[in-house]
Amino acid sequence: MKKQERQRYIKRLLSSNEIERQEDFVRLLRAEDIDVTQATISRDIKDMQLVKVPSVTGGYHYSMPVQKKMDTEKKLRRTLKDAYVSYATQDKFVLIKVLPGNGPALASLIEAMHYDNVFGTLGDDDTVLIIGKSLDATLDLQQTLQRLLSDN
């Protein structure tokens, strides 16, 4: 179906946090050859229960719904604790070793969080590579992950 595909794109766009208004979605989707109006986006946003968050930097940006984010985080924390083996970082990269078989699941959970620090994620059988958007972003990210690992 068309609607679902579009909404998948919208999800993907979420983490590139320059999305301040619905028209931005319209513009970005056009670049992907998906042609919609703001009205449709408004309804998609309602469907998907996205929220417009006042960001610390003064602007606004759209983001995942609270509940879903919380649920995902729980799964993420559990998976991390279950499967975590070791951890290394260099430059804008974070490399996590996990028990065999857990890489893909962990990677996709991290993606699902739509952290706006994360440029991309990539998981093979026993390794997850996370690429931060910047050096600072990567440091933040490390902290987030460590917090997740150390209970809270």
Cα→Cα distances 107→38, 45, 56, 65, 139, Å: 32, 25, 27, 20, 18
Candidate list 18, 23, 32, 136; residue touching DNA; CB under 7 A: 23
Residue 56 contact, options DNA, its own copies, none, Cβ 5-8 Å cut-off depending on partner type:
its own copies
Q: Which of 109, 14, 117 is nearest to 71 (CA)?
A: 109
Rounded CA separation 84/37 (Å): 44
User: DSSP secondary-structure letter at 87?
Assistant: E
Interface with its own copies, residue 39, by CB under 8 A:
no
Rounded CA separation 138/144 (Å): 10
Residue 3 contact, options DNA, its own copies, none, Cβ 5-8 Å cut-off depending on partner type:
DNA
User: Which parts of 49-78 interact with its own copies (CB under 8 A)?
Assistant: 49-56, 60, 63-66, 69-70, 73-74, 78
Nearest CB to its own copies, comparing residues 44 and 90: 44
Cβ neighbours of 5 (radius 10 Å)? 11
Determine the interface stretch with its own copies among 8-16, 25-33, 42-50, 128-136 (rule: CB under 8 A): 42-50
Nearest CB to its own copies, comparing residues 18 and 47: 47
Query: Which residue has 């919208």 as its token pair?
Result: 10
**How near is the Cβ of 69 to its own copies at its closest, in Å?**
6
**How near is the Cβ of 44 to its own copies at its closest, in Å?**
10
* x-marked contacts with DNA along 57-96 as a string, rule CB under 7 A: --xx------------------------------------
Rounded CA separation 142/17 (Å): 19
